[in-house]
Amino acid sequence: MSDFPITFDWGKKNRDFPCLKLQILENYLSDKVNGTTKIPRQSSSSAKKKVKKLKATTLMKFLDTQKENKDTKDKEESREDWKNLLIWGDNLYIMNSLLGKFANSIQLVYIDPPFYTGSNEYIDIPIGVGKKRKTVEQTPSPIKEVAYQNIWSEPNHAKTFSRWFYQRARLIHKLLKREGFIAVRFDYHYGHYAKVILDQIFGESNFLTEFLIRRMYKPVSNKALEYQQHLIIQSDSLFLYRKTPDAKYIGKVKKKKRSNPDPIEHESNDDNVWMDIVGYEKRKKTLYPTENSIKLLKRIISLCSKPDDIVADFFCGSGTTTAVAQELDRRWIGADLSRYSVNEIRKRMLLNKDSAKYPFQLLNLEMYNKHLMYLRLKKKELIAESQKNYYKFILKKFGGNYVDGFDHLQGEKGDAYIHIGDIDSIISPIGIQKAIDELKLQDKNKLVILGWDYFMEVNFFKRLFQEDQKIDVDLRLIPQSLLNNSSDERPFPELPFLEFSQTVDPKGRTLTLEFDKFFTDYHTNMYELDMNQINSLDLIDFWAVDWDYSEKDLFVAHDYSFREIGAGRKIIEAADTKCSHKYDEPGNHTIVLTIVDIFGNETSEYFNLLFR
């Protein structure tokens, strides 16, 4: 039996979920020409708030979708003002938050949800370049593990899956235009359940067709066939629905002619047997384990949308939908629960030949606390008891003592108070600020944060808390082994951070940054590596720098670098470890450097520089 003191209640299928704010983290707007960078800066009226007023907002700009006009037909954002959106978080809350601005606005939603396999997602991530290359296994984050494993771990898989899928399909229906389409890819495990739910939400009369998609060309030898214990699964289903009868096909399907095809493949260019193309890419563009094929996405996007339409994918994975949408001159919205996925998509979009033409923004949810939302469905006394047991469990492992009487402080250790993040939640700057407010009332200045996952760029805010409010903030990660009920006792690691040196040329007003060492114990499997055999800088997957950050502006990636992959998912070039910038004018400048490790975990460093 598990000694973990929390069980999960996922609520009823028709429950309306809270509308959270979407928060812009980073802008990728650069137009790099001959080594120079031209950046159109985006001002933010809400960014003028100081950190000490974080209870109202943060330094970043919010998209307060609750206050947006829901009727967007007559007030659609012009293409010149539009920025594509890449969002990290649970798509249930993302879609609900998008309704205020994007209800009845999206032309096509393509989704390839996780298939039921009875197992979690594991990815082998390469470290280093060339022959010295090593790999480490990426296991699901606690957030993603809780979100998905509960679908398949219940005794009645069909019931839990149906509730999970129904909630999301209902929100997609609200986001689609009257003329819009939804394309849903599933395999044989749960495709039949998905179709019943889609029939219920969209109406049986709006079901258009089921396309048969070839997974991959996989020749099977005669020897392999001798040991084959089951039929080879070669196809998936792609269900296509319209929102209303107003939806009309826009493009035409042009099938690929193959030598010696099955006769059924070419009876008509307009049939639903799409076996002439593969459903997954053989030569991948990212380090993601599976990639929907470019040809498949080109076909479905061309069939159901026209240039300037909005195309969305809320299980974005490797980012094929967003990449193809951009190539075909569509606007796009992409979302995924995996940090790793979001980082792979970010790199893929920056490598896109049209990246300078189509800017995009990276966002996440302002307050991310699903566990408490569900706990509130229970009786109050059960909430209190369940939460107290959870806090005591974590504090015992950390070596702290439980304290009562606070809303945002749960324990103490030595002269520091402790704030513990809830299961299936992300520690946000607003949550930290609330804990700091209570800490100040006790005339204390040391705060330890224990969390399962953290808001992107949390180290940037940590510096602001320490400098502006004189609070010593120690950010720690709760070991994933506690969630998995492992007997392996591991420490609560610090968040990733970078040691770097600065070289300043006052006369030339030039700043050079050189990376020295990168520390990351963020992921459980890092303990399996012999760090003496690894260059710590090889653990950096991506970085971006804003050379002149201002509280009035959003983070803008003036320069960036990332690992590049080649055939066989091998790293052919590491991220740069040195960058420089020449300032045209004297003055005080704030530099913000964002670093992403090989698991997709993001951290930030910032400092000030004065040129006279």
Q: How does the average pLDDT of the chain come out, rounded?
A: 76
Tell me, yes or no, whether 277 and 295 share the same domain: yes
Tell me, yes or no, whether 256 and 204 share the same domain: yes
Span of 63-67, 155-159, 412-416, 462-466 with lowest mean pLDDT: 63-67
Identify whether 529 is part of a domain: yes
CATH number of the domain to which 352 belongs:
3.40.50.150
Tell me, yes or no, whether 89 and 192 share the same domain: yes
Identify whether 9 is part of a domain: no
Query: Does 331 have pLDDT greater than 90?
Result: yes
Tell me, yes or no, whether 168 and 106 share the same domain: yes
- In angstroms, the CA 453 to CA 140 distance is 12
Tell me, yes or no, whether 374 and 356 share the same domain: no
Query: Does 486 have pLDDT greater than 60?
Result: no
The pLDDT assigned to 337 comes to: 85
Residue whose entry in the numeric block shows the structure tokens 């020897």: 223
Identify whether 90 is part of a domain: yes
Q: What is the pLDDT of residues 394-447, one digit of tens each?
A: 898 899 999 999 999 999 999 999 999 887 677 888 888 999 999 999 888 899
The pLDDT assigned to 13 comes to: 40
Tell me, yes or no, whether 420 and 549 share the same domain: no
What single string gives the DSSP state of each residue in 467-522?
Answer: HHH--EEEEEEPPHHHHTT-S-----PBPPEEEEEEEEETTTTEEEEEEEEEE---
Range of the domain at 249: 22-118+147-217+236-366
Q: Phi and psi dihedrals of 411, rounded to 5? A: -160, 180
Count of residues for the chain? 612
CATH number of the domain to which 558 belongs:
2.60.40.10
Mean pLDDT in residue range 4-16: 41
Tell me, yes or no, whether 448 and 550 share the same domain: no
Question: In the chain, how many domains are there?
Answer: 3
Span of 98-107, 531-540, 557-566 with lowest mean pLDDT: 531-540
Structural contact between residues 22 and 87, judged by C-beta atoms closer than 8 angstroms: yes
Among 366, 398, 422, the domain-final residue is 366
Among 315, 335, 366, the domain-final residue is 366
Identify whether 490 is part of a domain: no
Q: How confident is the model at residue 177 (pLDDT cuts 50, 70, 90)?
A: very high
Tell me, yes or no, whether 300 and 190 share the same domain: yes
- In angstroms, the CA 554 to CA 549 distance is 8
Q: Provide the greatest CA pair distance for the chain.
A: 80
Q: Phi and psi dihedrals of 73, rounded to 5? A: -60, -45
DSSP H helices in 16-73: none
> Any bridge partners for residue 553, and if so which?
43
> Does 139 or 492 have the greater pLDDT score?
492
Q: How confident is the model at residue 253 (pLDDT cuts 50, 70, 90)?
A: confident
Query: Does 239 have pLDDT greater than 70?
Result: yes
Among 483, 509, 529, the domain-final residue is 483
What single string gives the DSSP state of each residue in 541-577?
Answer: EEEEEEEEE-TTB-EE-SEEEE-EE-GGG-EEEPPPS
The pLDDT assigned to 129 comes to: 79
Tell me, yes or no, whether 377 and 357 share the same domain: no
Structural contact between residues 331 and 325, judged by C-beta atoms closer than 8 angstroms: yes
Span of 47-56, 62-71, 372-381, 598-607 with lowest mean pLDDT: 47-56
Separate counts of helices (H) and strands (E) for the chain: 13, 32
Q: Phi and psi dihedrals of 509, rounded to 5? A: 50, 50
> Does 468 or 178 have the greater pLDDT score?
178
Tell me the pTM.
Answer: 0.76
User: Which token pair is 217?
Assistant: 């060309």
The pLDDT assigned to 262 comes to: 54
3-state DSSP of 213-273 = EECCCCCCCHHHHHCCCCCCCCEEEEEEEECCCCCCCCCCCCCCCCCCCCHHHHCCCCCCE
Structural contact between residues 249 and 303, judged by C-beta atoms closer than 8 angstroms: yes
Identify whether 510 is part of a domain: yes
Identify whether 3 is part of a domain: no
CA atoms lying within 13 Å on the CB side of residue 39:
20
- In angstroms, the CA 418 to CA 402 distance is 9
Tell me, yes or no, whether 523 and 378 share the same domain: no
Tell me, yes or no, whether 374 and 339 share the same domain: no
Which strand (E) or helix (H) includes residue 382? Answer: helix 380-398
Structural contact between residues 254 and 245, judged by C-beta atoms closer than 8 angstroms: no
Tell me, yes or no, whether 317 and 413 share the same domain: no
Provide the 10 A C-beta neighbour count for residue 365.
20
Q: What is the pLDDT of residues 262-298, one digit of tens each?
A: 554 444 556 788 888 888 887 777 777 778 999 999 9
Mean pLDDT in residue range 387-393: 86
Identify whether 230 is part of a domain: no
What single string gives the DSSP state of each residue in 405-464?
Answer: S-SS--EEETTEEEEEPPTTEEB-HHHHHHHHHHHHHTT--EEEEEESSB-TTHHHHHHH
Identify whether 548 is part of a domain: yes
CATH number of the domain to which 425 belongs:
3.40.1350
